[in-house]
Amino acid sequence: MIATQVFGRTGHMSTKTIFGAAALSNVDQYTADKTMEHLIQHGINHIDTAASYGASEDRIKPWLTNGRRDRFFLATKTGERTYAAARDQIRTSLHRMGVDHIDLIQLHNLVDQAEWDVAMGPDGALKAAIEAQKAGLVTYIGVTGHGLQVARRHAESLERYDFDSVLLPYSYILMQNQQYAADFERLLQRCRERNVAVQTIKAIVRRPWAEGVDRHSATWYEPLLDQAQIDTASHWVLARKGLFLNTVGDVTILPKVFDAAERFVHAPSELAMQQLLKLQEMAPLFAE
């Protein structure tokens, strides 16, 4: 089984590998059910989805009804920025998943300055999240983001509001960017001081899709595919105490990530990481 650790101040013992339900965005219910069976087999107890992940919330619904709701720590996201739109989207998500509450609502990809100003303002999405929390519809509130500015932005968000979790990219290739690495470490230290859960994404990115290349995976980037490569990339993240590894957005690759997580023992060597980077011609996913 995959190891667990406490998810920040929530007290929930979440599996260190969290199911990123973007993988269910464009699959039928049969495929989704098979994927959910894999979760059960590996003991995954934490689901991270979003209103914008296609049919994901609908596909999860059958696995949250008939007394099965408490099997999972359930998180979703709203990408809306205004109070009214976020308020309505949160309630729509609850309806789509067939539940009366979720454990974590997250402000989705909140990095852009103009969007941040609206969402964190007096009539923004944060107000809707807090209102939903007071109404018992959600228990905790988090924030997520992509890009090279996200760690710095999350630090600013934590100064504005005491979020319970953050989510952002973290991988060996990305941490070769000195500025991003410095921003990430500062954010991580702040999260540790405040007991804020830190979720990481994009662990098995190989590089952005090259023009003309056959897009053989559902991910919006070219992923690593070989089990040994996925082991190395995933284990590098899992070796960092306190971090959570959110899985890949492709149901065909997902079992390899689960397998890697289940067999994790220790961090790969620096030499192994350098060899992976070189042999797979890895490249940064984000330019800004």
161-199 pLDDT tens trace: 999 999 999 999 999 999 999 999 999 999 999 999 999
- pLDDT per residue over 68-90, tens digit each? 899 999 999 999 999 999 999 99
pLDDT of residue 288 exceeding 90: no
What confidence score (pLDDT) does residue 267 get? 96
Q: Please give the model's pTM, rounded to 2 decimal places.
A: 0.97
Q: Which domain holds residue 121?
A: 4-279
User: Does a structural domain hold residue 226?
Assistant: yes
What CATH number has the domain bearing residue 113?
3.20.20.100
- pLDDT per residue over 241-254, tens digit each? 999 999 999 999 99
User: Does a structural domain hold residue 199?
Assistant: yes
119-133, 200-214, 245-259: range with lowest mean pLDDT: 200-214
Query: What's the burial of 278, exposed, middle or buried (CB within 10 Å: 0-12/13-18/19+)?
Result: exposed
- In total, how many domains does the chain have? 1
What confidence score (pLDDT) does residue 67 get? 86
Residues 6+ apart with CB under 8 A from 272: 232
Sign of the CA dihedral with 61 first, then 245, 7, and 45 last: positive
